[in-house]
């Protein structure tokens, strides 16, 4: 076989380390463990990177894809967390980072009629690895309904409400918590959950439930933080809520980050 020049391994004269170099927006089919149905198929968007010492001109981009392909189409939390160590070995690096984003689907019955619809949630896994340490953060992005306590208190009729998004990130102290359980923790802290399918009795229920449970964006992040404190498996959390205000020309926003 013809010997081809390896430009990436040639020296570079600028004497500068690169913090991260790799591939982004790499879509790959995966199967994720599912609490209700053992597993579900989805498509993840990967970003994979390593550090590059100053003595190397470039990294070998194809090796990122080779590491991913070596695991086949079935990936769960345990196998995904092994990828950084394999990247370090294959690419002769000291630091590795992986981010994968994927839609996660849950069957969700309407609150009164129990008609089932599919709800989608965005899930993000961030894994950083060195030769001696590994860090894993799981994030769920959960849409919710919030109703304004101030609007309810001052209005003779009704109160304004809006859809919001809670971005909830956690580090686990031991075994990972199910994605479904993280989502349900967030949904239980809002004025009301969201559903994909609602009939009139369901819509009445959701409207009244939100009215009976008004929360500011501040209440929402505090509720999620308080629920996180009661979870023994959570070592660290960050909860960010953003309300897409229905009567203002801006969004409302709050964040709490804490070691549990």
Candidate CATH numbers 3.30.70.260, 3.30.930.10, 3.40.50.970, 3.10.270.10; the one for domain 12-259: 3.10.270.10
Q: So what's the pLDDT on residue 161?
A: 95
Q: So what's the pLDDT on residue 248?
A: 93
Q: So what's the pLDDT on residue 36?
A: 78
Q: So what's the pLDDT on residue 1?
A: 65
28-54 burial, b for 16+ CB within 10 Å, e for fewer? bebebbbeeeeebebebebbbbbbbee
C-alpha distances in Å from residue 13, one per residue of 10, 54, 55, 58, 169: 10, 8, 8, 12, 41
Q: So what's the pLDDT on residue 6?
A: 66
Q: So what's the pLDDT on residue 198?
A: 97
Q: So what's the pLDDT on residue 57?
A: 81
Q: So what's the pLDDT on residue 260?
A: 58
Mark out the alpha helices in the chain (DSSP H runs).
61-69, 77-80, 83-91, 149-154, 179-187, 200-212, 217-229
Distance CA 224, CA 244 (A): 18
Q: So what's the pLDDT on residue 4?
A: 66
Q: So what's the pLDDT on residue 56?
A: 80
Task: Please name the residues in contact with 125: beta carbons below 8 A apart, sequence gap of 6 or more.
Answer: 77, 80, 98, 99, 100, 136, 137, 138, 139
* Residue spans of the chain under pLDDT 50: none
Domain boundaries, the chain: 12-259
**Is 0.75 surpassed by the pTM of this model?**
yes
């Amino acid at each position: 076989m013809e010997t081809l020049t390896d430009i990436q391994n040639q020296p570079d004269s600028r004497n500068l380390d690169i913090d991260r170099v790799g591939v982004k927006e790499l879509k790959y089919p995966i199967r994720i463990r599912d609490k209700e149905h053992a597993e579900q198929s989805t498509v993840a968007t990967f970003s994979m990177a390593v550090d590059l010492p100053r003595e190397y001109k470039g990294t070998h981009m194809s090796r990122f894809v080779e590491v991913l392909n070596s695991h086949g189409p079935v990936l769960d939390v345990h196998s995904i967390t092994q990828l950084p160590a394999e990247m370090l070995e294959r690419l002769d690096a000291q630091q590795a980072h992986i981010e994968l984003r994927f839609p996660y689907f849950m069957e969700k019955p309407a609150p009164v009629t129990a008609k089932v619809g599919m709800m989608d949630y965005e899930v993000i896994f961030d894994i950083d690895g060195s030769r001696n340490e590994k860090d894993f953060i799981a994030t769920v992005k959960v849409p919710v309904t919030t109703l304004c306590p101030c609007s309810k208190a001052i209005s003779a009729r009704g109160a304004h409400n809006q859809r919001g998004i809670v971005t909830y990130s956690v580090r686990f102290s031991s075994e990972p918590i199910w994605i479904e359980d993280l989502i349900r923790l967030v949904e239980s802290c809002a004025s009301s959950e969201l559903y994909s399918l609602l009939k009139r009795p369901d819509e009445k229920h959701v409207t009244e439930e939100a009215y009976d449970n008004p929360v500011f964006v501040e209440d929402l992040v505090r509720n999620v933080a308080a629920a996180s404190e009661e979870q023994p498996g959570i070592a660290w959390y960050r909860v960010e809520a953003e309300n897409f205000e229905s009567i203002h020309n801006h969004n409302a926003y709050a964040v709490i980050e804490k070691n549990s």
